A and B are shown apart, each in its own frame.
Chain A
């Protein structure tokens, strides 16, 4: 069964409301438009392909109610903007009674072909020439009345950001949708004119022939299943024969639509010469090597520093507040509730240590990063950066847009793995996620710095980072060579640069942040509890005895270092604290790191900790995004890389 067989229907009294589908090319402000119409903000981004799931909103305009369905931005009806299903199937799934086409008023020649294609489906079409504010800045004004005559349907000049014209356009669409619904239900007789065909004799003939064939197949085959989704759509009544034929013949019709669009645009546009807006000039710079590359580096460094700085301040404040206020309460309450000391202490690990870890590591860095990412996305700069970096990432089998999650990983791997959703194919997402897990997050970076810098100097710490980065690049090259498939070729429309809208940025950052907290908190708690049990019950002695010889032989490290590396899987930022805690018990007194291991050993320890299996929260994110097998494969690969790199380093440094 195809998606076309499952229209999005709701039960109850709202089920009979007419449905209006919002259709438009990427980046025409469709989601903002929907937000204005329904008075609620959705997650939007100024980058193609941000709306991935169908968003359905109940709207009420001029006393009429309807469902407004937001569809992903698409360039054509047979385009595949959201995975494998062609757009027309998503449209059929939404079962609209009318289509509201949202377009860029400043570039009608580019946006009218989609409106013409929608009209070819045989549904009522309302055309919203949106972004009139940006069009005006570029010296473009349009004659909506004339365009309405050409399209044979209502045309509205709108500005979604300011809310101008939105209600009128939606109201018109709801009116037409309600009319069509009434005609279909037999409570009203059809009226109005069918728009004249824009196609020349030959193409029109081909269209009619194909429509007749599809209608014929519908009658003769009945319910017999043929592998033809368009035929199925005609059979189920979701599309007319002519509508389905217009999709099937898009190769023939699309150039004709573009030609018509060009001529119509020339008739309705009034252009005046204006100086190039600053945003356009910056956009142009952002993709040229000069000053694009320095700009990219500057923005990346600033973003990284901002996350570290703001995150650091927030983390310190939260941590101080927690230890001053919450920890004493927990320390008093938990042992009183749980009489078994070992269990009570383990629970304290979870609710005190685990939640504090979440508060002081997860929240400040992740939220700050999400806000920055949302602002960069909403401004449209991300796409420019992606194009500029395309070639550099191409050798790793990734498109330039992978730069963002990979950079994000330096803050925290978990949001970065969700960030790989910007990649289009599963292959890219697997490679991207693999590289993300190898990039040291802020917690692992802290371990590397604290373990290496005080004992072997800052240069050695930088060297450790260099080795980790080198391993990451080599791993990417290897993954690109080993994972079958190749990178698709790039045809990408670059988003114009716009000032980010604070409400969008806040809404999107919050939406993602909530998903992160919901996913990561239980894992953090469970991981801390297990860690607490193993530690408090003294089980780690047995583990150390079992893996000790292996760790010593392969990495030249003491057994407890192996245990710490293994358990850091549960809480990476605790890799050093754990080591010292184990050491204190082992040696009978509190020991500094320098007493426990030589600088060379600490170096190996830091590199191996940084590369080895991502933390449990990352692993959960991997499983959620890519499935259990891919997650296990990535975890095993990182472990093998960590041990391999550690073993080579140990031999080079003469400790094994």
Chain B
């Protein structure tokens, strides 16, 4: 305690957290946070903090992002994707 090691993980309140909206096709991501406004809707689809998702494809003109969660594919509009904080899973 007290010493700050360089390996320390990023603090919980990252000023600019990465969101699903910026994720590239094919990447595997872990959901870290879900914006309160969309939490209920996304929980019903299983998009909860801790869930691991894969970006399947992005549709043209900034359309919905298609992610794979378990066995299903979900289409999430760009606004919703911006509400989902993610980190890459190695």
Residues of A within 8 A of B (CB): 75-76, 78-79, 104, 106-107, 109-110, 113, 138, 250-251, 254-255, 258, 283-284, 287-289, 292-293, 387-388, 390-392, 394, 400, 489-494, 496
Pairwise interchain contact A489-B77, C-beta atoms closer than 8 A: yes
Pairwise interchain contact B77-A490, C-beta atoms closer than 8 A: yes
Q: How far is the CA of A496 from the CA of B74 in the complex (A)?
A: 11
Q: Is B76 an interface residue (CB 8 A)?
A: yes
Complex interface: chain A residues within 8 A of B42 (CB): 491
Pairwise interchain contact A284-B57, C-beta atoms closer than 8 A: yes
Q: Is B3 an interface residue (CB 8 A)?
A: no
Choose among A104, A138, A390 the residue that contacts B77 (Cβ–Cβ < 8 A): A390
Pairwise interchain contact A289-B45, C-beta atoms closer than 8 A: no
Choose among B38, B48, B69 the residue that contacts A255 (Cβ–Cβ < 8 A): B48
Pairwise interchain contact B61-A392, C-beta atoms closer than 8 A: yes
Do A491 and B80 form a contact, CB below 8 Å, given A251-B40, A388-B63, A391-B62?
yes
Complex interface: chain A residues within 8 A of B60 (CB): 289, 293, 388, 391-392
Complex interface: chain A residues within 8 A of B56 (CB): 284, 287-288
Choose among B45, B71, B76 the residue that contacts A106 (Cβ–Cβ < 8 A): B71
Interface mask (B56-90 → A, CB under 8 Å = 1, otherwise 0) = 11111111101001111111110110000000000
- Give me 19 other A-B pairs in contact (C-beta within 8 A), A255-B49, A258-B43, A493-B74 excluded: A76-B43, A79-B44, A110-B71, A113-B46, A258-B46, A287-B59, A288-B66, A289-B57, A388-B59, A391-B60, A391-B63, A490-B75, A490-B77, A491-B38, A491-B41, A491-B42, A493-B45, A493-B75, A494-B72
Pairwise interchain contact B66-A287, C-beta atoms closer than 8 A: yes
Nearest opposing residue in chain A for B51, CB measure: A258
Q: Is B33 an interface residue (CB 8 A)?
A: no
Choose among B59, B61, B70, B74 the residue that contacts A491 (Cβ–Cβ < 8 A): B74
Instruction: Report A119 CB to chain B, min CB distance, Å.
Output: 17
Choose among B48, B57, B72, B75 the residue that contacts A258 (Cβ–Cβ < 8 A): B48
Q: Is B39 an interface residue (CB 8 A)?
A: yes
Pairwise interchain contact A138-B71, C-beta atoms closer than 8 A: yes
Pairwise interchain contact B75-A492, C-beta atoms closer than 8 A: yes
Instruction: Report A398 CB to chain B, min CB distance, Å.
Output: 13
Complex interface: chain B residues within 8 A of A496 (CB): 72
Residues of B within 8 A of A (CB): 38-46, 48-49, 56-64, 66, 69-77, 79-80
Pairwise interchain contact B71-A489, C-beta atoms closer than 8 A: no
Choose among B41, B63, B80 the residue that contacts A394 (Cβ–Cβ < 8 A): B63
Nearest opposing residue in chain A for B34, CB measure: A255
Q: How far is the CA of A113 from the CA of B46 in the complex (A)?
A: 9
Pairwise interchain contact A107-B72, C-beta atoms closer than 8 A: yes
Q: How far is the CA of A329 from the CA of B60 in the complex (A)?
A: 58
Complex interface: chain A residues within 8 A of B57 (CB): 284, 287-289, 292
Choose among B40, B64, B71 the residue that contacts A107 (Cβ–Cβ < 8 A): B71
Complex interface: chain B residues within 8 A of A254 (CB): 40, 43-44
Pairwise interchain contact B73-A287, C-beta atoms closer than 8 A: yes
Instruction: Report A424 CB to chain B, min CB distance, Å.
Output: 13
Choose among A110, A400, A490 the residue that contacts B76 (Cβ–Cβ < 8 A): A490
Q: How far is the CA of A104 from the CA of B77 in the complex (A)?
A: 25
Choose among B40, B49, B75 the residue that contacts A387 (Cβ–Cβ < 8 A): B75
Complex interface: chain A residues within 8 A of B39 (CB): 251
Instruction: Report B31 CB to chain A, min CB distance, Å.
Output: 11
Pairwise interchain contact B44-A255, C-beta atoms closer than 8 A: no
Pairwise interchain contact A387-B66, C-beta atoms closer than 8 A: yes
Choose among B46, B58, B59, B62 the residue that contacts A110 (Cβ–Cβ < 8 A): B46
Q: How far is the CA of A394 from the CA of B79 in the complex (A)?
A: 13
Do A390 and B59 form a contact, CB below 8 Å, given A258-B48, A287-B66?
yes
Instruction: Report B53 CB to chain A, min CB distance, Å.
Output: 13
Complex interface: chain A residues within 8 A of B48 (CB): 255, 258
Complex interface: chain A residues within 8 A of B79 (CB): 489
Q: How far is the CA of A526 from the CA of B49 in the complex (A)?
A: 61
Q: How far is the CA of A287 from the CA of B58 in the complex (A)?
A: 8
Do A110 and B70 form a contact, CB below 8 Å, given A391-B62, A491-B76, A494-B75?
yes
Q: How far is the CA of A390 from the CA of B66 in the complex (A)?
A: 12
Q: How far is the CA of A508 from the CA of B42 in the complex (A)?
A: 31
Q: How far is the CA of A400 from the CA of B56 in the complex (A)?
A: 19
Instruction: Report A353 CB to chain B, min CB distance, Å.
Output: 47
Pairwise interchain contact A494-B73, C-beta atoms closer than 8 A: yes
Pairwise interchain contact B74-A492, C-beta atoms closer than 8 A: yes
Pairwise interchain contact B63-A76, C-beta atoms closer than 8 A: no
Q: How far is the CA of A381 from the CA of B7 in the complex (A)?
A: 47
Complex interface: chain A residues within 8 A of B49 (CB): 255
Q: How far is the CA of A452 from the CA of B73 in the complex (A)?
A: 47
Q: How far is the CA of A400 from the CA of B77 in the complex (A)?
A: 11
Instruction: Report B76 CB to chain A, min CB distance, Å.
Output: 6
Instruction: Report B74 CB to chain A, min CB distance, Å.
Output: 6
Instruction: Report A258 CB to chain B, min CB distance, Å.
Output: 6
Q: How far is the CA of A138 from the CA of B68 in the complex (A)?
A: 15
Nearest opposing residue in chain A for B56, CB measure: A284
Instruction: Report B19 CB to chain A, min CB distance, Å.
Output: 14
Complex interface: chain B residues within 8 A of A104 (CB): 71
Nearest opposing residue in chain B for A254, CB measure: B43
Q: How far is the CA of A287 from the CA of B74 in the complex (A)?
A: 11
Pairs across A and B, CB under 8 Å, 19 listed: A76-B44, A107-B72, A109-B70, A110-B46, A110-B70, A254-B40, A254-B44, A287-B73, A288-B56, A292-B57, A387-B66, A390-B75, A392-B60, A490-B75, A491-B75, A492-B74, A492-B75, A493-B73, A494-B73
Do A491 and B73 form a contact, CB below 8 Å, given A287-B57, A289-B57, A387-B59?
no
Pairwise interchain contact A489-B38, C-beta atoms closer than 8 A: yes
Instruction: Report A91 CB to chain B, min CB distance, Å.
Output: 16
Nearest opposing residue in chain A for B76, CB measure: A491
Pairwise interchain contact B80-A489, C-beta atoms closer than 8 A: yes
Q: How far is the CA of A594 from the CA of B50 in the complex (A)?
A: 72
Instruction: Report A561 CB to chain B, min CB distance, Å.
Output: 41
Do A493 and B72 form a contact, CB below 8 Å, given A110-B46, A289-B57, A391-B63?
yes
Choose among A75, A387, A400, A489 the residue that contacts B45 (Cβ–Cβ < 8 A): A75
Choose among A138, A391, A494 the residue that contacts B61 (Cβ–Cβ < 8 A): A391
Q: How far is the CA of A388 from the CA of B77 in the complex (A)?
A: 11
Q: How far is the CA of A104 from the CA of B63 in the complex (A)?
A: 28
Complex interface: chain B residues within 8 A of A79 (CB): 44
Choose among B43, B46, B59 the residue that contacts A391 (Cβ–Cβ < 8 A): B59
Q: How far is the CA of A400 from the CA of B60 in the complex (A)?
A: 12
Q: How far is the CA of A293 from the CA of B60 in the complex (A)?
A: 9
Pairwise interchain contact B59-A289, C-beta atoms closer than 8 A: yes
Instruction: Report B28 CB to chain A, min CB distance, Å.
Output: 16
Interface centre among B49, B64, B66, B70 (most CB of A within 10 A): B64
Complex interface: chain A residues within 8 A of B43 (CB): 76, 251, 254-255, 258
